Homo-oligomer: A and B are copies of this chain.
């Protein structure tokens, strides 16, 4: 099997194009900030940015002018407050949006990943969002006649998925909060995998049930340690809650955001430089410590 290893900048250059629908996945956990920063550096434009929780990453990408539209289900800085750049752009009418609940958003990915033309959901009684978003439709349950709400598949042009460990073919293992990592990979037309640790195929094969994303749906494998900072990678580094709080200040003005982007994105070549610039105190604060899983026996058949 040929290796799919490539640099992140080459992968973004090859697989992300102006106007694409991009899904950078990860629910709080494993958010591929390094990939978003590379998209900013490469000056991509008119992207449709989809994520259940846009998080700081899409706030930064919107501020950098990459996006034409956002698709989301919770547009906040988790535990802190607003995503100020996206919010201001929405309130000013400068950014298109398409909105779901978490479940309807993820159901769109489930439909996309499953090859289904729609996914049904039980009614919630809340119809205001449904009436604002024509992607919500209704179908009568043929057994009872009751209506269910349905959403169409979400098929990203490209999904960017960060994982803890993978082999060079893109067979990827993920643990901790799984969010929509797997669905995004199966739903998308192209998949860029960013990997905290490249491991030998034998490590993957020692625990096949842990492999949530198979290499056969992966187009590029990029070795990017600390890709997820300021979010986190379970078992590798902690969430940088201080930065999530700090962003609430930084994002208050256009000027301070641009200064941030200048210093931490445009001014740096890649994630290795970013991590180094964070410095040893941050590195130390974000250490993960060790709590290993008890092994299981697959048997030697």
8 Å CB contact of A207 from B138, B142, B164, B294: B294
Please tell me if A4 contacts chain B, counting CB pairs below 8 Å. no
**Chain B residues positioned under 8 Å from A236 (CB to CB):** 297, 299
With contact pairs A117-B143, A120-B120 given, residues A295 and B292 touching in the complex (Cβ less than 8 Å): yes
Alpha-carbon gap, A152 to B298, bound state (A): 35
How many subunits of this chain does the assembly comprise?
2
With contact pairs A117-B148, A137-B143 given, residues A298 and B292 touching in the complex (Cβ less than 8 Å): yes
> Is the Cβ of B298 less than 8 Å from the Cβ of A210?
no
**Chain B residues positioned under 8 Å from A131 (CB to CB):** none
8 Å CB contact of A296 from B118, B210, B298: B210
- Least CB distance from A196 to B in Å reads 11
> Is the Cβ of B117 less than 8 Å from the Cβ of A117?
no
CB closest chain-B residue, reference A209:
B175
Interface of A is mostly: loop
Q: 8 Å CB contacts to B: which residues of A126-184?
A: 137-144, 146, 148, 150, 152, 164-165, 173, 175-176, 178
**Chain B residues positioned under 8 Å from A206 (CB to CB):** 291-294
> Is the Cβ of B297 less than 8 Å from the Cβ of A295?
no
Alpha-carbon gap, A141 to B139, bound state (A): 8
> Is the Cβ of B297 less than 8 Å from the Cβ of A292?
yes
**Chain B residues positioned under 8 Å from A144 (CB to CB):** 117
- Least CB distance from A180 to B in Å reads 15
With contact pairs A117-B141, A141-B117 given, residues A290 and B296 touching in the complex (Cβ less than 8 Å): no
> Is the Cβ of B234 less than 8 Å from the Cβ of A299?
yes
- Least CB distance from A173 to B in Å reads 7
Please tell me if A289 contacts chain B, counting CB pairs below 8 Å. yes
**Chain B residues positioned under 8 Å from A294 (CB to CB):** 203, 206-207, 295
Alpha-carbon gap, A122 to B153, bound state (A): 13
- Least CB distance from A114 to B in Å reads 9
With contact pairs A173-B296, A291-B297, A293-B296 given, residues A118 and B120 touching in the complex (Cβ less than 8 Å): yes
Please tell me if A272 contacts chain B, counting CB pairs below 8 Å. no
> Is the Cβ of A298 less than 8 Å from the Cβ of B209?
no
**Chain B residues positioned under 8 Å from A59 (CB to CB):** none
Please tell me if A288 contacts chain B, counting CB pairs below 8 Å. yes
13 further contact pairs, Cβ within 8 A, besides A137-B142, A138-B142, A291-B297: A116-B120, A117-B120, A118-B143, A142-B150, A173-B296, A203-B294, A207-B294, A207-B296, A235-B298, A289-B299, A291-B299, A292-B296, A295-B295
- In the complex, 24 of the A-B residue pairs with CB atoms within 8 angstroms, ordered by the A residue number, are A116-B120, A117-B122, A117-B141, A120-B120, A137-B142, A142-B150, A173-B296, A176-B298, A206-B293, A206-B294, A210-B293, A235-B297, A235-B298, A238-B299, A238-B301, A288-B297, A288-B299, A289-B299, A289-B300, A289-B301, A291-B299, A292-B296, A293-B297, A293-B298
